[in-house]
Amino acid sequence: MIVAGVDGSDAARAAVAWAVDDAKRRHEPLRIVHAVNQDPYRFSRFHASPEPELLARMAQDLVNEAAEQAGERQLDVEVSTEIVEGPAAVALREQAKDATEIVIGSRGLGGFEGALLGSVSLHVAGQAHCPVVVVRPEQESVRGEVVVGVDDSPECEPALEFAFRQAELRASTLRAVHAWQPPVQLYAPQVNYDPDDVTAAANQAVAARIARFREAHPQVVVVEDVRRAHPVDALVAASAQAALVVVGSHGRGGIRSALLGSVSHGVLHHARCAVAVVRQ
């Protein structure tokens, strides 16, 4: 089952469109979820809490509208709705135990004007134990490449599997991007190194890393793209012609609200298309 979080924003409507299209490709049902959180009203001295009946009616109207949008876009996808209590980030994270993936908008109604990414999307992408796809309001297209970041870490494996599957479902080219930067000490004049040798070694490492995925998905056309650049810059550049960028999460921290590594965090903020964060 695919879960789409909605709040009435343009980004949420784009997320519903993305989610129902993916549900169609995967032959899975779609669950549309909206969280009703009364905590801001309970703890604010300036705002009176709306009547529970009013909140319930507004929530029902919101999920009904989203379900109608999904049904009009893909007639043969099974669509259900659910209204849950509590903060949106926590409610969506709890959906992960039943979900193939969670799809959310990049910034909801409560975000700061001009912000590229909201706190809910960061929280869910960093903590949900299933793939999380973050969709920008202008990004509904399913055309273009699937881009995946490749490195030598274990976190890369689930991202590769997700990316190959997406490319297979879409009949899209998969671009496997590996970016490398010379260590600081290599800039010392007494150190000699050949960038061509580094690139050749990186090409071999990428080919070895993706070999078993190519074997499992032989119909997927793969472009191995090794660049001398920062990983965020390389993936953001590749996102310009992509329908989806897939990154693994290397977050290690226990106290941060979103357990994301710097690369996945940077790509979420700056990519020009939908981004899937896939944790181990």
> 188 lies in a domain?
yes
> 140 lies in a domain?
no
Query: What's the one-letter identity of residue 193?
Result: Y
- Cα 27–Cα 133–Cα 124 angle in degrees, nearest 5: 120
180: tokens are: 């490398």
- The candidate with the shortest Cα–Cα distance to 257, out of 146, 59, 129, 121, is 121
Residue 254 has pLDDT above 70, yes or no: no
pTM of this structure: 0.86
**Strand, helix or coil at 13?**
helix
* pLDDT tier for residue 113 given thresholds of 50, 70 and 90: very low
Our count of domains for the chain comes to 2
Looking up tokens 């390389």 gives 234
Same domain, 122 and 189: no
Segment 87-97, tens digit of pLDDT: 888 888 888 88
Which pLDDT does position 206 carry in this prediction? 86
The whole domain housing 30 covers 2-135
Same domain, 96 and 191: no
Segment 48-99, tens digit of pLDDT: 555 667 878 888 999 999 999 999 999 999 999 999 988 888 888 888 888 9
No. of helices (H) and no. of strands (E), the chain: 9, 10
Report the DSSP pairing between strands 242-248 and 2-5: unpaired
Looking up residue 14, the CATH number of its domain turns out to be: 3.40.50.620
Which pLDDT does position 251 carry in this prediction? 52
Q: Domain boundary at 135, 162, 194, which? A: 135
Same domain, 128 and 108: yes
Same domain, 125 and 231: no
Same domain, 110 and 22: yes
> 257 lies in a domain?
yes
The mean pLDDT value for 28-55 works out to 71
Segment 167-221, tens digit of pLDDT: 999 999 999 999 987 765 555 555 566 677 777 887 888 888 999 999 999 999 9
Q: Domain boundary at 102, 135, 168, which? A: 135
Could you tell me if residue 171 is left (phi over 0), alpha (psi between -120 and 50 degrees) or otherwise beta? left
Which pLDDT does position 205 carry in this prediction? 83
Which pLDDT does position 31 carry in this prediction? 96
Same domain, 211 and 252: yes
Q: Domain boundary at 135, 156, 181, which? A: 135
What separation in angstroms does the CA of 67 have from each of 15, 32, 35, 60, 124? Answer: 12, 7, 15, 10, 22
**Strand, helix or coil at 175?**
strand
